[in-house]
Amino acid sequence: MNASLCRSLSHNNLSGPIPKSISELSKLKILKMEFNQLTGEIPRELGRLENLLDVNISYNRLIGRLPVGSIFPSLDASALQGNLGICSPLLKGPCKMNVPKPLVLDPNAYPNQVDGNEKHNESSIFTKSHHHMFLSVSAIVAISAACLIAIGVLVISLLNASTRRRLAFVEDVLESMCSSSSRSGSPPSTGKLILFDSESPPDCISSPASLLNKASEIGEGVFGTVYKVSLGAQERMVAIKKLVTSNIIQYPEDFDREVRVLGKARHQNLVSLKGYYWTPQMQLLVMEYVPNGSLQSKLHERLPSSPPLTWANRFKILLGTAKGLAHLHHSFIPPIIHYNIKPTNILVDENFNAKISDFGLLRLVRKLDKHVVSNRFQSALGYVAPELACQSLRVNEKCDIYGFGILILELVTGRRPVEYGEDNVVILSDHARVMLEQGNVLECVDPSMEEYPEDEVLPVLKLALVCTSQIPSSRPSMAEVVQILQVIKTPVPQRMEIF
């Protein structure tokens, strides 16, 4: 990676403060400084690095507050842990800061070189003035300390009260879901479970605890946490996503309208959205439950006892994902953009049919700002189209096509989109492009695949590199991608399937 885009300084036994001059690297995207002996506070100037997407300063001797700008306010605990006293609500350790010592004046101090009575009088006046000043400073310090203690007690009391109210509220609203009806078709003003299938009465959740129970949690993504929940007497399994409320649409009519659009996106390669639950404090999405897990678990988290994915299954997953995205892009006006294509959002059933989850959730965000791009999508680093690093960004279908190209490379190579070594960072798309130019791109193929047809793998790799073009207009549409994949699998001309 270009040195202006990445600084990998980890495990270098560096000491002293972090240089402020790093803030002059305006194009810097990745800053890795973990496992050193860096001391002092993090320079506030680093908050001006607007293009930062990933920072790790763990396991140093840093203290103080994080810079208020750039990616720093939303760094997770793993990027900060192991320091002396970084101030963050994610860390349990002490918060230490370089605070200047308070001014304490010596009441016995005298002015120098004065004569006779003048010396006596002036020194007396000086002593009294210093004495009053000392008392004034001491009083200010005492008052300030008392105020801080009072504020701390008040904040703790409010937090405890707020926590009790939230727990009571969760129990109340989840119980109220059972008595709600969706037949009216109108958005709820209070907590109601709305199901889009008008022929089915709304089921009630068997137990409120089952929704929030850590044991029922099956995943956590950009927009919230997913739980596996049993509904009704028939114990029908569904997946319920509890949305992160920050920046989500707050008006029930708007939320209802956008979610109903997503509910109309029915396709064999999409996870169907069955309904929702809304209050100002909590928004839930009720979705189809796919029991066989995600592509992530099959590709990157495979148990040693589990067989690797065959080429036939990998190609089937790619084609299914392409068809699902093509349906979102070409069957709706305006198109439904996924914006977060990656293996954790591609579910796989028992027959290795791909089902795309979390599609269109961007519609539920009031505005796509830099916070969403740089903070919420840290986990998608490597999948995000390069044009989204710009300030004047415009999210469109080409962003999904870039992410799909990265997904192709992952499935063919078995590698992650960004891999960090001790001395370098490997970008999968760049690596594959170099190997293609050198004429040995097939060396990138996942070694766990013992057999694969070169006449299919090679054009699929070339398609991936076209999809990941740095120029958005050079990327194909998803309809074209589906057609290309079908031709690769069945070269004999015939009527193409409709996605």
Specify the CATH architecture of the domain 293-499: Orthogonal Bundle (1.10)
pLDDT for the residue 343: 94
Stretches in the chain below the pLDDT threshold 70: 1-4, 90, 92-94, 96-142, 152-153, 155-191, 198-212, 232-235, 245-247, 250, 366-381, 389-393, 491-499
In this structure, are residues 96 and 72 in contact, taking their beta carbons and an 8 Å threshold? Answer: no
pLDDT for the residue 138: 62
Q: Kindly list the distances between the CA atom of residue 92 and the CA atoms of 56, 85, 95, 382, 448, in Å, as whole numbers in the listed order.
A: 18, 10, 9, 30, 42
Nearest Cα to Cα of residue 408 among 337, 475, 472: 475
pLDDT for the residue 304: 85
CATH class entry, domain 6-87: alpha beta
pLDDT for the residue 284: 87
Q: Is the peptide bond preceding residue 334 cis, with omega within 30 degrees of 0?
A: yes
pLDDT for the residue 201: 44
Structure tokens at 330: 């070409």
φ, ψ of residue 154 to 5 degrees: the values are -65, -45
Q: Do the domains 6-87 and 293-499 sit in the same CATH topology, yes or no?
A: no
pLDDT for the residue 482: 96
Q: In the chain, where are the structural domains located?
A: 6-87, 293-499
Q: Kindly list the distances between the CA atom of residue 459 and the CA atoms of 205, 291, 321, 404, 405, in Å, as whole numbers in the listed order.
A: 48, 32, 17, 15, 13
In this structure, are residues 343 and 296 in contact, taking their beta carbons and an 8 Å threshold? Answer: yes
pLDDT for the residue 56: 87
* Residue with token string 């103080």: 64
Nearest Cα to Cα of residue 75 among 427, 374, 382, 417: 374
Separation between Cα atoms, residue 433 and residue 425, nearest integer Å? 15
Separation between Cα atoms, residue 80 and residue 346, nearest integer Å? 30
pLDDT for the residue 118: 44
pLDDT for the residue 121: 47
What's the pLDDT tens digit per position in 211-260? 667 778 888 877 888 988 877 656 678 899 988 766 677 678 888 999 99
pLDDT for the residue 95: 72
